[in-house]
Amino acid sequence: MSSSISSSDAADRRWRGFAVAFAATAVLLFAALAGVLAAVDPFDTGRFALTARAGVPEQGPRTADASRGRDPRFDSAIFGNSHMQLIRPETLNAQTGLDAVSMIVPGTYPKEQFVLIDWFLRHHPRPAAIVIGLDVSWCFDALYNVEPFPFWLYEKSPLAYLGGMMRYSALERIPGRLALLFGSAKPARADGYRDYDDELRTVDPGVLRQQLAKERPTASINPRNLFPAADRLKVVLAALSPSTAVVLAWPPVYITALPQRGSEAEATMRACHGAFSAVAAQRPRTTIVDWAEDRPETLLAENFFDQTHYRDNLAEAFQKDIASALSRMKE
């Protein structure tokens, strides 16, 4: 009996030893991976990095904006989704004398855009100007996102950032970042400008006609007319340096994307635009540029790829209006 008990105790000790060794190995491996990720800084966040070289290899703006948003070469920024994507920083800079970066991320809503604005302001406490694109998503009754977004990448907490970075997709970025650091890879475009995808530029004319022929909306998307994005924006703008010029820009949309006159949808949209106009009116050096209205340019189908994505000629006119607003605030 005693021999049996002794064997059992020995087996238990071996299993406990194995468990302790396994746990210690796992901790050491986790720490080693965290150390490598922090040192290489694959997304160029500037946290814990052993190199000061800025930039990331070509990648989507959801992650690349972590690098762009902290780049000291820029003193201004453009925020929004694909509806602001054709605003060219280099052209805007030539028109205004700014050094702007595009922090545009297609498919995002105000929730993600506030994160990007906060990231940029943490690294540029006194920006010369910011341009924020507003669209129908800013008129919703809640702040939420639909597409996946790496919120962890922009966390204020270093520990939350490290925890979020412990994922395979971050490890996949290490070779590209190392190639960039050693000069064997080209960095992504620093100012963030990205043209529309080929799929949008080569849309079938029949599909385009079908898109543009849709009936104008009549039902309200927000019957209570509560606009939390406007409330949040008011707080953000109030914390800005008084010297910062701000343009809140409503991009153009085709006429059939505008609410039917006299409808509940129009009442909500008017209330929403009014809420953001009130936010702008409460802060000096802040203005609205509104092209999301019934105007000659929005009646022409040849100016659009679909109901809410416009072509280069309309982008140039819209951008010129934004530049004029910024220039007036500099005078």
Residue 260 CB neighbour total at 10 angstroms: 14
3-state secondary structure 32-80: HHHHHHHHHCCCCCCCCCCCCCCCCECCCHHHHHHHHCCCCCCCEEEEC
CA distance 169 to 300: 43
CA distance 322 to 251: 10
Q: What are the residue ranges spanned by the domains of the chain?
A: 61-156+190-330
Half-sphere exposure of 133 (CA within 13 A, CB side): 30
Q: Can you give the pLDDT at residue 331?
A: 63
Query: Residue 77, Cα to own-chain centre: how many angstroms?
Result: 11
Tokens 């962890």 identify what position? 152
316 neighbors 291 (Cβ within 8 angstroms): no
Per-position pLDDT tens, the chain of length 331 = 455 556 666 666 666 665 655 555 544 554 556 556 667 788 999 887 666 667 898 899 999 999 999 999 999 999 999 999 999 999 999 999 999 999 999 999 999 999 999 999 999 999 999 999 999 999 999 999 999 999 999 999 988 988 888 888 888 888 888 888 888 888 899 999 998 877 677 777 777 878 888 899 999 999 999 999 999 999 999 999 999 999 999 999 999 999 999 999 999 999 999 999 999 999 999 999 999 999 999 999 989 999 999 999 999 999 999 999 999 997 6
Q: Can you give the pLDDT at residue 51?
A: 66
186 neighbors 179 (Cβ within 8 angstroms): no
Question: Was domain 61-156+190-330 assigned CATH 3.40.50.1110?
Answer: yes
Tokens 């820009």 identify what position? 249
- Radius of gyration for the alpha carbons in the chain, expressed in angstroms and rounded: 25
30 neighbors 166 (Cβ within 8 angstroms): yes
Half-sphere exposure of 12 (CA within 13 A, CB side): 6
Give the CA-trace dihedral at 129, 276, 137, 205, to 10 degrees: -80
Q: Can you give the pLDDT at residue 26?
A: 47
Angle, to 10 degrees, between the axis of helix 228-238 and the axis of helix 264-281? 10
